[in-house]
């Protein structure tokens, strides 16, 4: 079981994130990997050093997909969770997120992403346009769902990689693979790496579950 946190010069946020990760109530062996996407700043390594069980990986190529892929490549767990450095989790989050993996057809599980605060007009505006959460009811999509939406597959409805778990086997799948590195934060598109990954998983005939009670708090 691996958790990958990509980070770029957010030491205070990262520290809060790691504190919530090491406090997870689980009996599973958990490997936590932090990917520093700007090691030259020297801001991340001291934070990671405070957590003896956390592995630090450096990725010099700038971009969230590069960083996440570096973390996935360094991971050893059969399940690999992706989250952000500005996210914190309740103590039962991980166990709730992993529930759907009891089914062998499930390759990806996403969870709800709630705002950490709604204090500023910009924060409230972001949430009014949907935010990163996808509601308070469980949902799932599979190959049939993909075929029904074939002309325009709304994979954005299925969650975000601020709170997502993957069977690591998909990273070596010839029709799925790792995150598309030309997409995502730090690239011209700014977005899309997660929704394209979901698209490939569904096209390959697998299932994605959205587990509404596996929520995190996101700072935005």
pLDDT tens digits for 71-130? 999 999 999 999 999 999 999 999 999 999 999 999 999 999 998 655 666 555 555 555
Q: Which of 45-59, 109-123, 136-150 has the lowest mean pLDDT?
A: 109-123
| Whole-number Å distance between alpha carbons of 100 and 25 | 18
* Percent share of the chain, pLDDT over 90: 82
pLDDT given at position 121 = 65
More confident residue, 38 or 220: 38
As a whole number, the mean pLDDT across the chain is 92
Where does 2-218 sit in CATH, by number? 3.90.550.10
Residue 108 forms beta bridges with which residues? 166, 208
Asked if the model's pLDDT at residue 211 lies above 80, the reply is: yes
Asked if the model's pLDDT at residue 131 lies above 80, the reply is: no
pLDDT given at position 123 = 57
CA-CA-CA-CA dihedral for 103, 104, 106, 111, to nearest 10? 50
Q: What are phi and psi of 141, to 5 degrees?
A: -135, 145
| Whole-number Å distance between alpha carbons of 88 and 84 | 9
pTM score, whole prediction: 0.92
- Could you list the beta-strand ranges (E) of 85-138: 87-88, 106-115
């Amino acid at each position: 079981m691996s958790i990958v946190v990509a980070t770029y010069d957010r030491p205070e946020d990262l520290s809060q994130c790691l504190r919530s990760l090491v406090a997870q109530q689980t009996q599973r062996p958990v490997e936590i990997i932090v990917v520093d996407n700007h090691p030259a700043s020297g801001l991340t390594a001291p934070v990671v050093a405070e957590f003896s069980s956390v592995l630090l990986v450096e990725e010099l190529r700038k971009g969230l997909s590069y960083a996440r892929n570096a973390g996935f490549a360094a991971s050893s767990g059969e399940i690999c969770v992706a989250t952000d450095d500005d996210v914190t989790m309740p103590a039962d989050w991980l166990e709730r997120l992993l529930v759907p993996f009891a089914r062998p057809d499930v390759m990806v599980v996403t969870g709800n992403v709630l705002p950490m605060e709604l204090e500023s007009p910009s924060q409230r505006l972001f949430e009014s346009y949907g935010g990163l959460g996808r509601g308070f009811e469980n949902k799932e999509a599979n190959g049939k769902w993909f075929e029904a939406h074939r002309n325009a597959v709304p994979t954005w409805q299925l969650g975000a990689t601020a709170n997502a778990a993957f069977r690591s086997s998909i990273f070596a799948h010839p029709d799925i693979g790792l995150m598309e590195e030309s997409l995502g934060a730090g690239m011209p598109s700014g977005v899309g790496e997660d929704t394209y990954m979901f698209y490939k998983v569904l096209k390959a005939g697998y299932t994605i579950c959205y587990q509404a009670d596996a929520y995190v708090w996101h700072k935005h």
